[in-house]
Structure formats: structure tokens, C-alpha cells
């Protein structure tokens, strides 16, 4: 297979019955090279839906980055209807520096969508994805994880809305087959890949898993199977989706910018673990100084379930430490 390097891409004009990898130009670099986005696609020998999958929107989240080439290699054009188009690393500069945000302009790619064609590198990446990749998609999956900083369980997040887009998002999340479903009220927080997809009318989900700089085999397998399950649900592959048993169905803001923040800097010692049920006011942990003196006690701001904890112990003022969400009222 010859890799292609292209300046522009039209997902409606991809040749059928093909597997292809390559690069799309984003912006010039000062040294005369080019920032480029890697892509992998498989087109079936029969027409069908266009499924777009991205990962590496944050540069330190590896599970999706590992799963995407696996999915590419196991997908056969002969048994596929439609097109699977995947970008394994969206924030290429952040991937290189092993950071959540871009080292070039300091921006979080998941806060600048739909981007800006004349902006710095991060909004330019967002603009390319929002204008060239997402608009023609029949369904979109954005694979995330806790990255180096956060601990978060394996889940599929969907748009909780009483409309066609919300119904498809929920059904797609169910088909993905992660052990936890997490619905988010409409509209999603702005600047995200999902808010951009929703603005374009594209039903979508995102996923989270362990992170920590790891790509654990079970987590990668969940993502690999999950994407294939969504292809089965969309009718792109013949068999029926086979997900993992559901353990939690949660509902609440997925905006981790609104997590309980560190009021002081120091050493964070949590006293709860992921998926613990907590009561409003319950102590979640402490921040100490380097001599062990407690500087701050952190308390739950609401009843609910611990869905995110800061993994790193060193905290600065304002760092997000924990996020609590609710059970879905079924």
C-alpha cells in the first residue's frame, strides 16, 4: 500500500473497495516542513454510511491511538458497506510533547472547535476537521481517555436529547458496548469535537478510559470492539453488536472544566475512588503541605457518583480534582 500525502480531502470522493493511509496538510512549519494529520480509511465494495473516528485530540491519551490502526487492519473492504475514516492523532504537536494541549500555542484542541482557518495551529487543526472531515459523516466517534492527569472509568458519552440526533447518539453509545453510559444534557459544552458535530447535525459519541500514559490491553480491546460494534449497528458490517455488560447509566454535565477545583496548591490525597457513591458534604480528600499539614479539606458539592479524579498528586491552585455526576433516572 502506498501512503498518500494530500493537500485537501473530500470524503465523498474516496475510491470504493480500498484501504489507504496517508497525511493531510494542515499548516506550514517554520523549518519549511508541514504540520500534517495522519489518516486511515477503508471503503467497502458496497455503498453505506460514513463513520468518522478520531483520537489523540489530547496528546497524552493513547488507547484510541493504539486501537485505530488495529481496527484498520482488521477491516476488510469485501465485507464492509460504506466508509470508515479515522484520524489516530488529531493534536499532532501535543502527541510529540506528550502533553494534553499543544506546545505551540498552548491551546486545548477540545476547546477551540469549530476552529479558525487563519488561526494558530490548534484552531487550524479544528477547522480542518470541522469543515473537511465531520460534515459528511453519518456518525462520529471521538476516542478519549484520562490522559496522564486524570483517572476516569471506561465509558461511552452521548448527547441526552429528545430529538433524532439525541436518539441516534444514545443508540450508538449503547451499541459501542462500554460498561458505563454517560448522557450529557443538550447542548454540549462549546468548543468540543462533539459540539461541532452537533452543530453540523451529525450524531456522535465520545469515549473515555483509564489513561495514565497507558494503553491497557482491555481498554484498547474495548475501543476496538466498540468501533466495530458501531459499524455493525450502522449496518456497515453484517453481524450484531456484542458489547460489555452495562454497570452504570449516568447523566450529568460532562464538562470537566467544572470539576471541584483545588483552592490551594500542595499535595492532593484523595479519600474516595472512581464510581464511589458520595453524599453532599462528604470529605473527598485533602491537600497538604510538604510537612503533612492539612491546608484544605475537599468536600462533595453534590450527591452522586465520582466520575473523575485527579491522578497526579501535585496540585496547583484551580486544578480540577474530582467530578461528581448523577445516575440516569430510568
Q: Which stretch binds Zn ion (CB under 5 A): 55-63, 72-80, 195-203, 243-251?
A: 55-63
DSSP 88: S
For residue 113, the number of C-alpha atoms closer than 13 Å in the C-beta half-sphere is 23
Contact status: 144 vs Zn ion (CB under 5 A): yes
In this structure, are residues 67 and 101 in contact, taking their beta carbons and an 8 Å threshold?
no
Using a 10 angstrom Cβ sphere, with 0-12 exposed, 13-18 middle and 19 or more buried, the burial of residue 244 is: middle
Q: Least distance in Å: CB of 201 to Zn ion?
A: 23
Contact pattern from residue 61 through residue 90 relative to Zn ion, giving x for each residue in contact according to CB under 5 A and a dash for the rest: x-----------------------------
Cβ at position 270, least distance to Zn ion in Å: 20
Place of cell 501512503: 3
Q: In this complex, which beta carbon is closest to Zn ion, that of residue 130 or of residue 143?
A: 143
**What does the block give as the cell for 129?**
476537521
Q: Which is nearer to Zn ion, 42 or 112 (CB)?
A: 112
**Could you tell me the smallest distance in angstroms from the CB atom of residue 254 to Zn ion?**
11
**d(Cα 211, Cα 308) in Å, to the nearest integer?**
12
Q: How far is the CB of 109 from Zn ion (least distance, A)?
A: 9
User: In the complex with Zn ion, which residue's Cβ is closer, 144 or 311?
Assistant: 144
Is 58 an interacting residue with respect to Zn ion (CB under 5 A)? yes
Cβ nearer to Zn ion, comparing 144 with 184: 144
Q: Which stretch binds Zn ion (CB under 5 A): 142-150, 180-188, 272-280, 285-293?
A: 142-150
**Range list of H helices, 75-114:** 92-97
- Other CB atoms within a 10 A radius of the CB of residue 241 amount to 19
Nearer to Zn ion, 133 or 300 (CB): 133
Burial of 256 (0-12, 13-18, 19+ CB in 10 A): middle
Q: In angstroms, what is the minimal distance from the CB of 241 to Zn ion?
A: 24
Q: What share of the chain is helix, strand, coil (3-state, %, to 5)?
A: 25, 30, 45
Residue 124 in the binding site for Zn ion (CB under 5 A): no
Long-range Cβ contacts of 295-300 (<8 Å, 24+ apart): 295/264, 295/266, 296/262, 296/263, 296/264, 296/266, 298/260, 298/322, 300/260, 300/324
Residue with Cβ nearer Zn ion (144 or 310): 144
Residue 113 CA to residue 189 CA, distance in Å, equals 11
CB of 3 to Zn ion, least distance (A): 27
Residue closer to Zn ion (CB basis): 61 or 219? 61
Task: Give me 86's grid cell.
Answer: 479515522
311: contact with Zn ion by CB under 5 A: no
Residue showing the smallest CB distance to Zn ion in the complex: 144
Catalog residues that contact Zn ion under the rule CB under 5 A: 58, 61, 144
Amino acid at each position: 500500500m502506498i501512503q498518500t500525502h494530500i493537500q485537501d480531502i473530500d470524503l465523498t470522493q474516496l475510491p470504493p473497495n480500498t484501504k489507504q493511509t496517508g497525511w493531510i496538510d494542515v499548516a506550514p512549519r517554520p523549518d519549511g516542513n508541514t504540520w500534517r494529520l495522519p489518516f486511515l480509511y477503508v471503503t467497502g465494495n458496497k455503498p453505506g454510511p460514513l463513520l468518522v473516528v478520531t483520537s489523540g485530540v489530547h496528546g497524552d491519551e493513547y488507547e484510541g491511538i493504539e486501537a485505530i490502526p488495529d481496527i484498520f487492519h482488521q477491516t476488510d473492504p469485501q465485507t464492509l458497506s460504506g466508509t470508515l475514516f479515522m484520524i489516530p492523532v488529531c493534536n499532532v504537536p501535543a502527541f510529540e510533547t506528550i502533553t494534553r494541549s499543544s506546545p505551540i500555542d498552548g491551546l486545548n484542541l477540545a476547546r477551540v472547535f469549530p476552529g479558525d482557518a487563519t488561526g494558530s495551529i490548534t484552531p487550524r487543526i479544528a477547522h480542518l476537521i470541522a469543515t473537511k472531515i465531520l460534515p459528511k459523516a453519518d456518525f462520529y466517534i471521538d476516542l478519549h481517555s484520562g490522559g496522564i492527569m486524570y483517572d476516569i472509568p471506561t465509558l461511552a458519552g452521548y448527547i441526552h436529547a429528545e430529538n433524532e440526533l439525541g436518539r441516534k447518539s444514545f443508540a450508538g453509545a449503547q451499541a459501542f458496548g462500554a460498561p458505563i453510559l454517560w448522557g450529557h444534557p443538550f447542548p454540549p459544552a462549546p468548543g468540543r469535537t462533539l459540539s461541532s458535530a452537533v452543530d453540523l447535525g451529525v450524531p456522535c459519541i465520545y469515549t473515555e478510559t483509564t489513561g495514565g500514559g497507558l494503553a491497557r490491553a482491555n481498554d484498547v480491546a474495548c475501543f476496538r470492539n466498540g468501533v466495530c460494534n458501531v459499524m455493525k449497528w450502522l449496518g456497515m458490517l453484517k453481524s450484531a453488536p456484542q458489547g460489555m455488560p452495562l454497570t452504570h447509566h449516568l447523566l450529568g454535565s460532562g464538562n470537566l472544566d467544572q470539576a471541584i477545583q483545588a483552592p490551594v496548591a500542595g499535595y492532593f490525597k484523595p479519600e474516595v475512588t472512581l464510581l464511589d457513591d458520595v453524599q453532599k458534604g462528604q470529605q473527598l480528600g485533602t491537600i497538604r503541605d510538604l510537612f503533612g499539614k492539612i491546608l484544605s479539606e475537599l468536600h462533595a458539592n453534590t450527591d452522586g457518583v465520582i466520575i473523575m479524579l485527579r491522578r497526579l498528586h501535585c496540585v496547583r491552585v484551580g486544578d480540577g480534582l474530582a467530578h461528581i455526576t448523577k445516575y440516569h433516572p430510568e
